[in-house]
Chains A and B, each alone.
Chain A
């Protein structure tokens, strides 16, 4: 075999284990889901194989699903904006810190060592009626009765921000690290104040990281079901909760399959739009 042919084969040989895993554990199951979505759950409760469009018709026309989908996108959008506003200054601080950046990054990663569910539930001990905040305010005499702070849209967004903020910070940080600080010096020497230098130079050059962080926050936020289940009220269900409900509670696998594919399609379109304008390369940089 020629050297060129061998070199051309090498990447595929190295990739084959991961390709096998991805095919078996991701592509095949998704194809199953696709097939399931065209099956039908009969009124007596068993699943009838075939090619029925009933689930898809329900998923695409029922206003209930549409409203929850829109609400899900809204919550994800608000979460993303909050993460961006809170995460950018933090990332800027770490990127420009003179001291131990590795330590600061480690502190940022620290929450990942604790289960996401436990981190989410911890808010109950802070905001619950007998939680830390209510107890403290009662003790201080600010309130007489505990206030119901939990189980609404705000706490869902709070939980999502808590979960997603590190992703935003990391992405913006990577992007800011790539911005040469002498550019700000140059802008300063030309007469721009610190703030003008930031707006004219640093911010535009770090936008790719902000966009990548935004995409991650949005996609992860829109696909979550634990946060609304733990911190949301009955009316704060997000789209993934519908999938959970259909599959686990109602045992209606075909409907759950159609709904989950719908969410996948909506988020897939968003990723494609992002890729068209900004490219996925930046996202990979942030994750790497």
Chain B
């Protein structure tokens, strides 16, 4: 039985459709991420599951029980809000123990569970303090402790890391995943950050303009994007319009401009049944810049001129020009990057490409 089932849920605000009918099954214990840019409907979807918004149509079930008409306080959910939403007038222990007041839990039992939860988030010593005395990262952990101490059926996380600074965000990412894994709670995580989504999720639901673009495990969504939007939202991609000339022997031959015929693995072109218009998806990370005279090693390559160099330390983002086309490449480097104006060779392996149908 799925922990959460969304059947054709839709949300309209007046004439505006925030979420087009979508269905989703979340198995028990999975960590599912709703990923997309702001305004894509991911938070609206989460708020419908939470009971903070009513779906216009469709059905939401949690553990096999229809919850559409169940108010938020009866849904047994743990929610971690973007701004933490800790009660400023209550101590940390009172904050964490808040949900236990409304459950049949004895005082001793509640105190023990609060203590355990604080230990789980590695803040056992702050019980008597008030939220304002804690740092952002600590408040985030307390918000998580408060949400999980009630042993919710589902944990909902609404961009919980976005208010933290970059280094702390990466630490909390690992920490959050560790805790989720340890207690095994089914989790729905909302973010616009593709790195968070890729690092934490069992399944990613990529959304755009209120529609689901693709659902799949991180590697699949990353390596075999189902749409141009997904290809560009998760990392950067170069998309070249071409023609599929054949689908045989486990490869799909794409005749692409600049590079000639590229044999793409069939599993990375699941939506191309046979010859016809097709687009070649070439990830920026897979496009390698090498010196003009370097041996091509059997890779597909062409000559290009470096236009822009965006140096990031361990990596460099290049924009290169091949004829009239600008391509983006992100390369790890251990020496000096190429300079603007250099003539180089750009190359890639065909098996690193994916293909999409359409012109």
A residues whose Cβ falls under 8 Å from a Cβ of B: 180, 182-183, 185-193, 196, 200-201, 204-205
Q: Which residues of B contact A (CB under 8 A)?
A: 50-52, 71-79, 81, 83, 85-89, 98-99, 101-103, 146-147, 150, 156
Interchain residue pairs A-B with the least CB separation, the first 8: A191-B102, A190-B99, A186-B85, A189-B79, A188-B72, A182-B85, A188-B73, A191-B73
Query: Which chain B positions have C-beta within 8 A of A196?
Result: 102
Residue numbers in A under 8 Å from B147 (CB-CB)? 189-190
Residues in A neighbouring B146, C-beta threshold 8 A: 186, 190
B156: chain A residues within 8 A (beta carbon): 189
Select one of B73, B87, B101 contacting A189, CB under 8 A.
B73
| B47: nearest chain-A partner, CB-CB | A185
Which chain B residues border A193 with CB–CB below 8 Å? 71, 73
Task: Tell me whether B78 and A183 are in contact (CB under 8 A).
Answer: no
Partner of B102, one of A185, A192, A204: A192
A43 to chain B, nearest CB (A): 61
Q: Which residues of A contact B74 (CB under 8 A)?
A: 191
A contacts with B: majority SS = helix
B81 in complex: contacting residue of A185, A191, A192, A204, CB < 8 Å: A185
CB of A191 within 8 A of CB of B83, answer no
Q: In the bound complex, how far is the Cα of B73 from the Cα of A193, in angstroms?
A: 6
Q: Which residue of B lies closest to A179 (CB)?
A: B88
Known contacts A182-B83, A191-B102; A205 and B89 CB within 8 A of each other: yes
CA distance A191 to B103 in the complex (A): 8
Extra pairs beyond A188-B51, A188-B73, A200-B98 (9, CB < 8 Å): A185-B52, A185-B79, A185-B85, A187-B98, A188-B71, A190-B73, A190-B99, A190-B146, A190-B150
* A204 partner residues in chain B, CB cutoff 8 A: 89
Could you tell me the distance between the alpha carbons of A205 and B81 in the complex, rounded to whole angstroms?
A: 19
Distance from A151 Cβ to chain B, minimum over Cβ atoms (Å) = 45
A266 to chain B, nearest CB (A): 32
Residues of A within 8 A of B102 (CB): 190-192, 196
Quick one: which of A190, A192, A196 has the most chain B CB within 10 A? A190
Contact B99 A191 (CB under 8 A): yes
Complex Cα–Cα for A204 and B88 (A): 10
The residues of B that contact A205 with a CB separation of less than 8 Å are: 88-89
Instruction: Report the separation of the CA atoms of residues A201 and B76 in the bound assembly, to the nearest whole angstrom.
Output: 19
* A186 with B81, Cβ < 8 A, contacts A201-B87, A205-B88, A205-B89 known: yes
CB-CB < 8 A to A189: which residues of B? 50-51, 72-73, 75, 77-79, 147, 156
